[in-house]
Amino acid sequence: MKRFAVVVALLASAVFATAAGARRFSDPVPIVPFFDLGPIEDQLEILIREREILAVDAWTHAVVSVEIDRNEDILWSGVRGRIALVITDRRALATVPGASMWAERGFELRESQPERVLIGDRVAMIVTDRRVYGLEGVTGTWSEAGLRPREEVLYAAAGTNVAVAATRTRVLGVAAARGGLFEADLSIREDVQSMRAHGSLANVMTNQRLLTFRAPDGAWQATDLTFR
């Protein structure tokens, strides 16, 4: 009898939840990402041999390799979430689960070694004195933006699904599941005061506006703070 009462209570609870959660056809349907944006454990492992770099998929055991030139030096390597990233004195190498090869971006002859390397579960960003490189970690594709004469990255931050950078004239961001580097201009008298990236959202506070950037939208939104 007690067991029957528990079953009846569970059924009643389910009916109530269905009724309370019913949605009219006129109600807007919430937009949800087509994939999970939550934090994930590392899905790859990097193994460095004498003249070869291997990435091992933790789930499928698949191995992707790339050869290193004799005079090429490895400066940094790391794994976070879906991304395996290696920086040498000549190029940036990255791969993701399911990829058949390492994706690379070569540095120019007089380009500096990376000054900043940021990595999240599904994004990565590299900054040199000439370019900003963004990696979208769902498909494993690179994008880049050249820095203008005398332009310098002053701030940079990365979260789980977004990575952003700021100079005196603009802000740039890369978002998971949205290829490309997205930018927004700063006005002549607009100074960046703070930057923060966490999860799927990044915000940049200036003396005039609050700029926000989120995944998977890959778009900058601005809120004017001068009249508040």
Give the mean model confidence (pLDDT) for residues 125-136: 98
Strands 155-158 and 162-166: antiparallel
Domain count, the chain: 1
pLDDT value, residue 35? 57
106-to-87, 90, 91, 114, 211 alpha-carbon distances in Å: 10, 6, 4, 12, 31
d(CA 179, CA 184): 16
Whether 26 is in a domain gets the answer: no
Give the mean model confidence (pLDDT) for residues 119-148: 97
Whether 87 is in a domain gets the answer: yes
pLDDT value, residue 228? 64
- Indicate if the pLDDT at residue 126 is higher than 70: yes
Q: Which residues pair with 125 in a beta bridge?
A: 118, 134
Q: What is the pLDDT of residues 51-75, one digit of tens each?
A: 999 999 999 999 999 999 999 999 9
Contact by Cβ (8 Å): 124, 83:
yes
Domain that holds residue 50: 33-224
Whether 17 is in a domain gets the answer: no
Whether 163 is in a domain gets the answer: yes
Say what the pTM is. Answer: 0.83
Q: What is the pLDDT of residues 150-178, one digit of tens each?
A: 999 999 999 999 999 999 999 999 999 99
Whether 6 is in a domain gets the answer: no
pLDDT value, residue 11? 32
Instruction: Give me the torsion for CA of 165, 115, 207, 134, rounded to 10°.
Output: 0
pLDDT value, residue 27? 42
d(CA 60, CA 134): 26
Contact residues for 148 (Cβ-Cβ < 8 A; gap 6+): 169
Whether 64 is in a domain gets the answer: yes
Whether 215 is in a domain gets the answer: yes
Whether 78 is in a domain gets the answer: yes
Strands 141-146 and 74-80: unpaired
Q: What is the pLDDT of residues 187-209, one digit of tens each?
A: 999 999 999 999 999 999 999 99
